[in-house]
Amino acid sequence: MIPVLDWSRFSGGTDTDGFVADLGQAARGPGFFLLKGHGVAAPLIEDVFTQADSFFALPETDKAPLSILNNPHNRGWAQMGSESLDETSGQVDQKEAFNIGLDLSPDDPRVLAGEPFRGVNLWPDLPGFKETLLQYFDAVQNLGVSLHKAIARDLGLADDHFASSFSAPMSTLRMLSYPAMPGAGIGAGAHTDYGSVTLLMTDGEPGLQVRPRGGDWTDVPHVEGAYVVNIGDCLMRWSNDIYVSTPHRVLAPKKARKSIAFFLDPDPDAVVSALPGTGEPKYPPVTGADYLRSRLDATYTPKEL
């Protein structure tokens, strides 16, 4: 049900049309696919998971000053029980996370102007942590932006159609940690992602499930070294509902589980409106920043640290 695509077919030019057709079918159907041949180095991915282990092992007293609740730019630490992704049930997620975004200095004009989602990253005092995460951030962002060339072609547009909307995207790199929980439970409630595309790397521990339209919850298979890629709400809106953003959740794992998610959102001032050739617009135009803020505001539950 969830296809496995090989990015090298497109990036290497060996079967670009075939890859585009397969991507389009996945984006219109399950809204999910696995992506291998992506070129992000395996040792770098391993280093990110090692850094995640180090961060989540810190005592709460070290993580609390980095709280995402005190940061308006979606950066920092989200403690256990601080999020509720299932907005309908209000069920509290059993996970903790740490976010970074585009790395800006405190004197960057965008930071000084208070532009939305243009803040400084918060960093723990861990050797190599910042360097590793920024190297990975750049690698996966390049992959996500390049993926939009194939998306554009599938939708009948020029390969560079999205380039101006992803010049300095509101990307978020998020490390996630789910504790082992005996019996049934939910690590992350049912939700759809907010951005354009998500590229997720897992440690292989099961738990991620998707619910295709009209179907039942289905386990997402694990393919070693492959990204789980899914269409987000922003791209569904952009495509005028041609593409599908599919609900998914994470069951509470029997063993501790970690994953590294990369959420690719457009530039803050990029206007998301129905793409050419997609028919009568179903949604009014909205900027990337306004759309992301509307979604994030519904996610966090008030909780004192």
Give the pLDDT of residue 81.
Answer: 63
Q: What is the DSSP secondary-structure string of 130-141?
A: HHHHHHHHHHHH
Partners of 287 in the β-ladder: 271
Torsion of CA 274, 241, 285, 196, to 10 degrees: -100
> What predicted TM-score, i.e. pTM, was given to this entire model?
0.94
CA-wise closest residue to 237 among 292, 188, 200: 292
Domain 4-296 belongs to what architecture?
A: Sandwich (2.60)
d(CA 290, CA 268): 8
Task: Tell me the CA end-to-end span of the chain in Å, nearest whole number.
Answer: 42
**Per-residue confidence (pLDDT) for residue 84, from 0 to 100:** 63
pLDDT of 89: 62
The answer to whether 234 and 172 have CB atoms below 8 angstroms apart is: no
Residues of the chain under the 70 pLDDT cut: 81-84, 86-90, 298-305
Res 232: pLDDT? 97
Q: Where are the domains of the chain?
A: 4-296
Distance of CA 214 to the CA centre of its chain: 24
Question: Is residue 174 within a helix (H) or strand (E), and if so which, with residue range?
Answer: strand 172-178
240-289 tens-digit pLDDT: 999 999 999 999 888 999 999 999 999 999 999 999 999 999 999 999 99
Bridge partners of 272, per DSSP, are 286
pLDDT of residue 190: 83
Q: pLDDT tens, 223-243?
A: 999 999 999 999 999 999 999
pLDDT of residue 297: 72
